Amino acid sequence: MALPVKQTNNKFRVGAGTVGAGASQQLTTVPFETTKRVYVKCITGTIYVGSSIDVAATNGYPLVAAGDNAVEIAIDDPSKVWVIGAAGGQTYKWLAC
C-alpha cells in the first residue's frame, strides 16, 4: 500500500510504499508535474518498475534491495510509474524532482 505523498519543499517530493506480488500499484495516486526525474529505490526484497498497471516480473525493471541501487526515470509525473513486488511486503522509496 502506497503511503501519502509528502511535500518536502517546492522543488521535490518524496514518498514510500509497500507492495506485494498480487497487484501492481502507482508510486502515488496524486498526479503532479515534476521538472526532471523520478528516482525509485528498493528497500526490502525485490520490486519491478514499469510504466503501466500491467508491470510484472516478466516485463518490469528489477530493483533489488542492495547497497544504493536505484533507478532514475526521466518522466514528468510519478503517478505514471508503477511497481509490483516479487513477494509480499516489499518496500520502496521514491523521490521526484
Instruction: Give the Cα separation of 92 and 9 in Å (integer).
Output: 21
Based on C-alpha coordinates, what's the Rg of the chain? Answer: 12
Range 6-96: architecture per CATH: Sandwich (2.60)
Task: For the chain, give every domain's residue range.
Answer: 6-96
pLDDT digit string, tens, across residues 72-89 = 999 888 899 999 999 999
pLDDT digit string, tens, across residues 6-62 = 554 466 889 999 999 999 999 988 888 766 889 999 999 999 999 999 999 999 999
The pLDDT-based confidence of 63 (bands split at 50, 70, 90) is very high
**What's this model's pTM, rounded to 2 decimal places?**
0.85
All cell numbers assigned to 13? 517530493
